[in-house]
Structure 1
Amino acid sequence: MRALILAAALAVLAAPAGADDYTWLLPEPALFCPIGANVMPIRILADRGIVIDGLACEGVRLEGGRVWAKSCVGNGSAAVDYDTDLVVSPSGALTHDGVRFLRRGGPAPCPAG
């Protein structure tokens, strides 16, 4: 039994560094609309990218209430790194810049107000 436990522990330690993928923390792809604020919506993309603050980002990493992306572009601009706050609640709602965002059940755009 000890040999089995030791083998399992070694297998975990030998896991590739690529296991550092935090995109699984993102909700399923959807449009998230702001509640009570006139700000841009957030979109989680099927390729595990995100559109936030008007920037389309790929290579997203979500950890500790922050989202980082190695490549974000907006309106034809050059690609930039991006780091901002983003909290995913257990209910699946998002909080960004003090605004709560809920998943939109219907088609875009988000309702006014």
Structure 2
Amino acid sequence: MALVNCPACRTKISSLAKVCPKCQYSRDPNAEVDEEQVRLFQKRLFRDRMYKLRMFSYVAMTITMIGALPMLWDYITGIESGEPIEMLEHWGVYAISVGFFLYLVIRVLMALVRRSYRANMPPV
């Protein structure tokens, strides 16, 4: 007997347990499938995926800001000192580009996850 994670709520349960004591998820293959249980499981999976993608989008925005703030600082100091300013030669352009590209990719993934969740939901 070992402890395993419940596929629905991630609670540690016994490998011999047929039903999770926390969420009532049944691991018995011969058990009758409850539609409400399936709906709840899909909703949890959707929520977890969207949460992870939102966190990744925050990381992408942080990468963008890591490039933008030094560029802004150099731009302001260049104006104050009267030096010519070449913004496209600054290293921050690369960080801004990578962060913005990652942000767009993550947003597309979020739309795809949302679409697949709506398509796979059983009717009410």
Verify same fold: TM over 0.5. no
More strand by share: 1
Higher alpha-carbon Rg: 2
**TM-score bin (small chain):** under 0.3
Name the structure where helix makes up a greater proportion of residues: 2
